[in-house]
Structure 1
Amino acid sequence: MGSKEGIPPPPPDWPQQADEDYERIRVLGAGAFGQVLLAKRRPQNSHSAEKYVAIKGVSILTEHEGATAEREIAILSELSHPNIIKLLDAYEPASNTAKGRYIVMSYINGPDLGELLEARGALGLPLAQLIARHLISAVAYLHARGVIHRDIKPDNIMLEGCKEGKKWISDDLMWNSSKTSSKAVEQGRFKAVLCDFGFARAILFKQHERNQSRVNLRMSAVGTKFFAAPELVENVCNKDEPDEALTQCVSNYGLIGDAYSVGATLSEIITGVPPGKDPVAYVESNRKTTQKSSSRFSKLCHILSGGYKGPYDIQLRTHEELPKPVTNLISSLMEPDPSSRLSVREAQDHEWIGGYDALEHGDVDARRGGECVPLQNIAAFK
């Protein structure tokens, strides 16, 4: 398993079969088990039709991590939706003593929404509306399969279409609400993809619950505090110290909890205001000064603009500055009372989203009121 010039050497436990199926190109980042690599499918590989893939390592140092990794693989292996990351293959490490798995995912050539928000703040309304449609369609599909994502936030949503060839497009198309931006969206330039299913969980419905969206069950509560539904945060148990992550909690959690996270995500990408902040106070305070760039901020601006020309003003909006349908959708998804909250499958029919028939679809019917088609792999429920 040697390495050609310019190609990164394989990790110590890199599977031989992975080298036979894919050609390593470069390192994309660091994962829990090692590097995340960009790779190219070899002509003889019949497992995948995608030319480029991302291969990441998943740590399995404990029994809990092992169950989590198997669950992520089991869930993703049965999902098929254009706005959900695809699992293409999985390999055992080369060494029998290694603790992990290598997972081959579809490669998304673009930044995550968290990076875009940090770079320039609130996205343009045409792009934000498209992202809302893609995200709601993806999560409605998950719920139709009985899957709860449990960690929906901007960092876990990638955006394709930010490049023309090898060059980044004008940032105006992403942060502007002009006719040019609207045209780019209408022409299908962009696509949002929901990623990171490490915390996802499949649930089993009773027969009479198959068409419901408010099923709750007791399970480990995970995710990020300010994107989590209030009933999750308020009912957590066995948490030693409060912090932004909710990775060691137990709570009553269900499909309707994901709806709150979708609303919180949409609120941030449309207003630029992080969840947990008072929107009016935050906008008034931060509009007065030009924010300083962080290293992550300046790097992304350098990529997008072909050279860092900031610091840029961060684009911010209050809810009062948004069209009423937008604020109605966000407030309905973020309703504190879960029994009154708009479900994600219901949100497909909201006037700002356009109805089920106007959205991207997966391999099962995810329209409002439809029955759940549960996953078959028992590992998805562990």
Structure 2
Amino acid sequence: MARDASLFSGRPSELIGRQVAGYRIEREIGRGGMAVVYRARDLRLDRTVALKLLAPELARNDTFRLRFTHESRAAAAIDHPHIVPVYEAGETDGVLYIAMRYVEGSDLRHLLDRRGPLAPAAALRIAAQIASALDAAHEHGLVHRDVKPGNILVARGTDSDHPEHAYLTDFGLTKKSLSLTGFTTVGQFVGTLDYVAPEQISGRPVDGRCDVYGFACVVFECLAGRPPFRRDDDMALLWAHQYDQPPALTESRPDLAPQADAVFAQAMAKSPDDRHDSCLAFVAALRTALTGAAPGTDHPPTEVDLRAARPARDRPEPPPRWAEPVFRGRS
């Protein structure tokens, strides 16, 4: 596929209508420094997918190619309603690709650019969904390392009580922290500068608390309308993440409870040991600060024991996993 370099030279139309690894490309829906995402048709199963094609130079890096293949498989194994399912990942004609569920809607980046800061209730709803996705990934030994608004998709929810359904995506470029550390080079980090944790910048080992930091930066932006640190150049921004204390949320949103400032200060602590233990713990603390509601007083998740409806001899062990819902509404 000699012309694939054109994906990153401003001529994406050259691939429209072409077939790549059994997918017919229909239109471009997203673009970043390392990949282009297309809406495509799966010709084998006759369904619409999001097809991400990575920059050709990445496929020429043996370390990256090996890491990408292993981590895409690990991400595909996670069954969670707020993680975009990965259908397939591989390499064809020197190009790495990953096929995922196509989610109709927008991403959080476009939502914030269009609407500005979110109301606390909306920010908390989206944050709780993404926090559960991140914590589930951490339980599988995956650290995302690039939590940002562009990697959070927001589709229409099911009803007025659940107006949004948020998905976390882009797990194909994460780090399998427990068993794949040998696949990354010393000092290398994956992440977007507005949301990158201090330990990523310095090349120290990372775990789920790295995502707590980046996720807190995203939630801060949802409420404040801007990332926590804004500097004139990249080096100054990296310095701020490593050494400057995060600004108080109430400087941008004086209408919000001042207790939220302490929650963000903990979530964005320079040392991972000083942060919340999980993303859901951060969201619970933030909800308490913003609403005054004690943890656990909101409506708990509905749990159904399917074993109660059948004889003991027929009860499956372990219980069946939840089926992932599919939402088709347009934003």
Please indicate the TM-score interval, normalised by the length of the shorter structure: 0.5 to 0.7
- Going from structure 1 to structure 2, the CA distance change for 1:62 and 1:258 (only over 3 Å counts) comes to same
Q: Assess if the C-alpha contact under 8 Å between 1:227 and 1:264 holds in 2.
A: yes
> 2:110 matched to 1:109?
no
Query: TM-score, normalised to structure 1's length?
Result: 0.57
CA distance in structure 2 between the aligned counterparts of 1:56 and 1:160, rounded to whole angstroms:
19
Alignment correspondent of 2:76: 77
Alignment correspondent of 2:18: 10
Q: Assess if the C-alpha contact under 8 Å between 2:144 and 2:175 holds in 1.
A: yes
Q: Assess if the C-alpha contact under 8 Å between 1:270 and 1:317 holds in 2.
A: no
Alignment correspondent of 2:167: 193
> 2:120 matched to 1:146?
no
Q: Assess if the C-alpha contact under 8 Å between 2:260 and 2:286 holds in 1.
A: no
Equivalent position amino acid for 2:282 in 1: A
1:165-204 to 2 correspondences below 5 Å? 184=160, 186=161, 188-204=162-178
Q: Assess if the C-alpha contact under 8 Å between 1:31 and 1:57 holds in 2.
A: no
Q: Which moved more, 1:189-198 or 1:347-356?
A: 347-356
CA distance in structure 1 between the aligned counterparts of 2:300 and 2:94, rounded to whole angstroms:
44
Alignment correspondent of 1:368: none
Describe the superposition over 1:133-168 as per-residue Cα deviations: whole angstroms up to 9, x where unpaired: 011111111111111101111121111119x9xxxx
Question: How far is 1:100 from its partner?
Answer: 1.7
Equivalent position amino acid for 1:337 in 2: S
Alignment correspondent of 2:85: 86
CA distance in structure 1 between the aligned counterparts of 2:126 and 2:102, rounded to whole angstroms:
18
Question: How far is 1:319 from its partner?
Answer: 4.5
3-state SS in 2 of match to 1:79 = coil
Alignment correspondent of 1:367: none
CA distance in structure 2 between the aligned counterparts of 1:231 and 1:324, rounded to whole angstroms:
28
Alignment correspondent of 1:57: 53
Alignment correspondent of 2:188: 220
Describe the superposition over 1:21-56 as per-residue Cα deviations: whole angstroms up to 9, x where unpaired: xx65444345778863323456x73xx9xx431122
Q: Assess if the C-alpha contact under 8 Å between 2:17 and 2:26 holds in 1.
A: no
List 4+ stretches of structure 1 deviating above 4 A.
Answer: 29-35, 353-357
Q: Assess if the C-alpha contact under 8 Å between 1:71 and 1:201 holds in 2.
A: no
Aligned-residue sequence identity (percent) comes to 25
CA distance in structure 1 between the aligned counterparts of 2:131 and 2:150, rounded to whole angstroms:
16
CA distance in structure 1 between the aligned counterparts of 2:187 and 2:178, rounded to whole angstroms:
13
* Correspondence for 1:268 among 203, 221, 225: 221
Describe the superposition over 1:104-142 as per-residue Cα deviations: whole angstroms up to 9, x where unpaired: 101121221112222232112221111110111111111
CA distance in structure 2 between the aligned counterparts of 1:325 and 1:336, rounded to whole angstroms:
20
Unaligned runs of 5+ in 1: 1-6, 165-182, 206-217, 237-249, 279-315, 362-382
Higher helix residue share: 2
CA distance in structure 1 between the aligned counterparts of 2:285 and 2:18, rounded to whole angstroms:
48
- Going from structure 1 to structure 2, the CA distance change for 1:41 and 1:231 (only over 3 Å counts) comes to closer
- Going from structure 1 to structure 2, the CA distance change for 1:343 and 1:39 (only over 3 Å counts) comes to same
CA distance in structure 2 between the aligned counterparts of 1:229 and 1:28, rounded to whole angstroms:
28
CA distance in structure 2 between the aligned counterparts of 1:230 and 1:275, rounded to whole angstroms:
14
Q: Assess if the C-alpha contact under 8 Å between 2:84 and 2:168 holds in 1.
A: yes
> 2:226 matched to 1:277?
no
> 2:285 matched to 1:350?
yes
3-state SS in 1 of match to 2:50 = strand
3-state SS in 2 of match to 1:320 = coil
Query: TM-score, normalised to structure 2's length?
Result: 0.65
Alignment correspondent of 2:132: 137
**Aligned residue pairs, count:** 255
Q: Assess if the C-alpha contact under 8 Å between 1:88 and 1:104 holds in 2.
A: yes
